């Protein structure tokens, strides 16, 4: 029997990471009725910080001697991660999980546009057209003025903006910056958001259900980090990255089974448009040999 190729192993790890991250989202959404947002972020963040600290030690990436320029970019990335977490989870607590996930799939389009505007990266007419079509797909998902419109869609869009800032900062970092260490700093920032926010809310006692849900969210988040780092280290980025879109399919399935949320036809069409244009954008970036450091892609 032939051994599994590195690319296939990387693809399976990426699918596993997206499954884990989306299950984390589902557990966090389930907590909405029992725990305040900031309390949930704080306790989940503790687990993420512990996990990433251990990973940094094992990989020899726990270092603080970065150049001032890279520290500035790490700080900007952390700000983007903190903002993305707040806006994403706020939208998730109030919207169908599939809709929030679909809007987040516009991220590759937003990053490509921001890289062209602020970093001077080349952006040909093909990718520019794909970006415009992709954002039209986002409007189909949001459906402003429609019966299914939710004002929390703007929180999901704000999350895209924050995560775009995060990823643009990543593109400016030197390749010597340890990837897991960057994720650890971001995790500390997100956990601090939960701690500060918790000072201004009334904490709720943990029930058995909420404790299990939070444990599940933390566990899946940790598994997602490990799988995503492993995926980028094992396979070629150009081959592995498109499998990130598996999260949308999983979100749709979980939304139907767990929350009884059925996306309407326009939202489905919009999601297909966003994914198709995102895949095309990734393909064009691969052809142009644009690369990013393999940094775990979310604390959310």
Q: Burial letters for 159-175: b for 16+ Cβ neighbours within 10 Å, e otherwise?
A: bbbbbbbbbbbbbebee
Query: Taking residues 289-300, what's their average pLDDT?
Result: 55
Residue 120 is assigned to a structural domain of this protein? yes
Give the residue with greater pLDDT, 115 vs 87: 87
Query: Taking residues 5-34, what's their average pLDDT?
Result: 91
Residues 205-240: tens digit of each pLDDT: 999 999 999 999 999 988 888 888 778 667 776 678
pTM of the model: 0.89
What pLDDT score was predicted for residue 222? 87
Query: Taking residues 131-154, what's their average pLDDT?
Result: 89
Q: Is the pLDDT of residue 11 over 90?
A: no
Query: Taking residues 124-129, what's their average pLDDT?
Result: 88
Residue 270 is assigned to a structural domain of this protein? yes
Residue 130 is assigned to a structural domain of this protein? yes
Q: Is the pLDDT of residue 259 over 50?
A: yes
C-alpha 147/C-alpha 152 separation (Å) is 14
Residue 82 is assigned to a structural domain of this protein? yes
Query: Taking residues 47-63, what's their average pLDDT?
Result: 90
Residue 170 is assigned to a structural domain of this protein? yes
Query: Taking residues 113-127, what's their average pLDDT?
Result: 85
Closest CA to 192 of 33, 68, 64, 85: 85
Domain that holds residue 116: 45-189+236-287
* Domain count of the fold of the chain: 1
CA distances from residue 185 to 76, 136, 161, 181, 189 in whole angstroms, order as listed? 11, 35, 20, 6, 6
Query: Taking residues 20-46, what's their average pLDDT?
Result: 94
Residue 89 is assigned to a structural domain of this protein? yes
Residues 261-272: tens digit of each pLDDT: 988 999 999 999
Longest dimension (CA), the chain: 59
What pLDDT score was predicted for residue 293? 47
DSSP alpha helix (H) spans, 174-297 = 179-198, 208-234, 237-240, 246-259, 265-287
Q: Are 235 and 7 in contact (CB under 8 A)?
A: yes
C-alpha 109/C-alpha 113 separation (Å) is 6
Residues 159-214: tens digit of each pLDDT: 999 999 998 898 888 888 888 898 899 999 999 999 999 999 999 999 999 999 99
Sign of CA dihedral 50, 203, 21, 165: negative
Residue 258 is assigned to a structural domain of this protein? yes
Residue ranges with strand state E in 79-217: none
- Residue 296's pLDDT band, with cuts at 50, 70 and 90, is low
State the residue for tokens 């260490």.
Answer: 181
Q: Are 81 and 166 in contact (CB under 8 A)?
A: yes
- Residue 57's pLDDT band, with cuts at 50, 70 and 90, is very high
Residue 36 has a CB neighbour count (10 Å cut-off) of 19
Q: What is the mean pLDDT of the chain?
A: 88
- Residue 4's pLDDT band, with cuts at 50, 70 and 90, is low
- Residue 291's pLDDT band, with cuts at 50, 70 and 90, is very low
Q: Are 137 and 294 in contact (CB under 8 A)?
A: no
Q: Is 177 left (phi over 0), alpha (psi -120 to 50) or beta?
A: beta
- Residue 297's pLDDT band, with cuts at 50, 70 and 90, is low
Residues 96-114: tens digit of each pLDDT: 999 999 999 998 899 889 9
Residue 219 is assigned to a structural domain of this protein? no
What pLDDT score was predicted for residue 38? 96
């Amino acid at each position: 029997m032939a051994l599994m190729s590195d690319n296939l192993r990387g693809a399976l790890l990426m699918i596993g990471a997206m499954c884990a991250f989306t299950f984390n989202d589902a557990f966090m959404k389930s907590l909405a009725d029992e725990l305040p947002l900031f309390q949930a972020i704080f306790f989940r963040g503790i687990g993420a910080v512990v996990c990433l600290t251990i990973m940094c030690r094992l990989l020899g990436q726990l270092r603080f001697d970065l150049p001032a320029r890279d520290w500035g970019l790490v700080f900007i990335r952390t700000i983007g991660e903190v903002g993305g977490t707040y806006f994403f989870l706020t939208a998730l607590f109030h919207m169908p999980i599939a809709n929030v996930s679909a809007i987040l799939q516009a991220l590759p389009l937003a990053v490509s546009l921001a890289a062209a505007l602020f970093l001077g990266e080349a952006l040909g007419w093909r990718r520019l057209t794909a970006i415009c079509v992709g954002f039209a797909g986002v409007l189909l998902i949001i459906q402003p003025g429609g019966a299914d419109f939710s004002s929390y869609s703007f929180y999901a869009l704000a999350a895209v903006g924050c995560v775009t800032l995060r990823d643009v900062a990543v593109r400016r970092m030197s390749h010597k910056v340890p990837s897991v260490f960057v994720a650890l700093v971001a995790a500390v920032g997100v956990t601090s958001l939960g701690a500060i926010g918790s000072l201004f809310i009334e904490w709720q006692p943990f029930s058995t259900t909420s404790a299990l849900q939070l444990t599940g969210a933390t566990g899946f988040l940790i598994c997602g980090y490990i799988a995503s780092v492993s995926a980028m280290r094992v396979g070629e980025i150009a081959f592995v990255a498109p499998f990130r879109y598996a999260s949308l399919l999983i979100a749709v399935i979980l939304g139907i089974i767990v929350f009884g949320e059925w996306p309407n036809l326009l939202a489905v069409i919009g999601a297909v448009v966003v994914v198709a244009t995102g895949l095309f954008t990734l393909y064009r970036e691969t052809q142009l040999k644009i690369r990013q450091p393999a940094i775990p892609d979310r604390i959310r």
